[in-house]
Amino acid sequence: MRVEDLTEENLDDVFSICSYNKLDDPLQREGIELKRRWLSEILEEHGPCTKIAYLEGRPVAQVLFYPEKIAPFISSPRDGVVILHCVYNPFEEARGRGVGSALLNSLIQECREGLPILKGDQCTFLVAQPFDTGTGVSLGQFYERNEFKQGEGEMHYEITGEYHPRRHTGYYPLPEDLGRAVMFYDAICEWGYPFAVRVRSSCET
């Protein structure tokens, strides 16, 4: 097994993992193209935000992460905090072989030594909001097994500093949004686009 950082050359490997069973779905393809543009922009402007695990030469799992300060939807980012968006290991033949832990350990080691996407800043701690991917061990259990602790609405792993919760700000509708259903979408996950389209269709009926 080997772990590689995301590059333009292996970018398609991300989708062969995350959308392995939906590559022919038109809505999923639209989500993939939106995420592809997002990944390319992050790569160019900040550096790799994904690590890919290969087993016998085949891409089988990935970890997606990014600094809190580059997320446009976070109004009060914490210094040196890295969001661990997900660790995804969907293939049965790759489970129980330490693939997910190898990805996470590679990320943690780079956080200690100097994560390229932080541009020389120290990583204070990692944060994650686990969700159920529907395959294998739940992310919450996985993070707990790898020594993440429970914080305020998130789990955390301290690197160079002590954990402190983020100050959350509320959403206040714009005058033109009053009386409307407002949806928020970002391109970080290709699965979000088909979901957003279905929600919009439900609101229109």
Q: What is the pLDDT of residues 141-198, one digit of tens each?
A: 999 999 999 999 999 999 999 999 998 777 778 888 888 887 778 899 999 999 999 8
Rounded to whole angstroms, the Cα distance separating 113 from 115 reads 7
In the beta sheet, which residues pair with residue 87? 63
- Contact between 120 and 99 under an 8 Å Cβ cutoff? The reply is no
Residue in this structure with the two tokens 């900040």, named with its chain if needed: 46
Q: What mean pLDDT comes out for the span 134-145?
A: 85
125-128 vs 81-88, strand pairing mode: parallel
- Position 205 scores a pLDDT of 67
Residue in this structure with the two tokens 């949004």, named with its chain if needed: 177
Rounded to whole angstroms, the Cα distance separating 114 from 88 reads 23
Q: How many CA atoms within 13 Å lie on the side-chain side of 72?
A: 7
- Position 49 scores a pLDDT of 97
Could you give the residue ranges of the DSSP H alpha helices within the chain? 11-18, 26-45, 99-113, 139-145, 192-204
- Position 18 scores a pLDDT of 95
Q: What is the pLDDT of residues 83-126, one digit of tens each?
A: 999 999 999 888 889 999 999 999 999 999 999 999 999 999 99
Q: What is the pLDDT of residues 20-71, one digit of tens each?
A: 999 999 999 999 999 999 999 999 999 999 999 999 999 999 999 999 999 9
- Whether the per-residue pLDDT at 199 is higher than 70: the answer is yes
- pTM, full prediction: 0.91
- Position 19 scores a pLDDT of 96
- Position 190 scores a pLDDT of 95
Domain with residues 2-162+170-204, CATH architecture: 3-Layer(aba) Sandwich (3.40)
Looking at 26-148, which runs of residues are DSSP E strands? Answer: 50-55, 58-67, 81-88, 125-128
- Contact between 44 and 61 under an 8 Å Cβ cutoff? The reply is no
Planar angle of CA 49, 54, 57, nearest 5 degrees: 135
- At 203, is the pLDDT very low, low, confident or very high (cuts 50, 70, 90)? confident
Closest CA to 83 of 154, 184, 138: 154
Rounded to whole angstroms, the Cα distance separating 164 from 124 reads 10
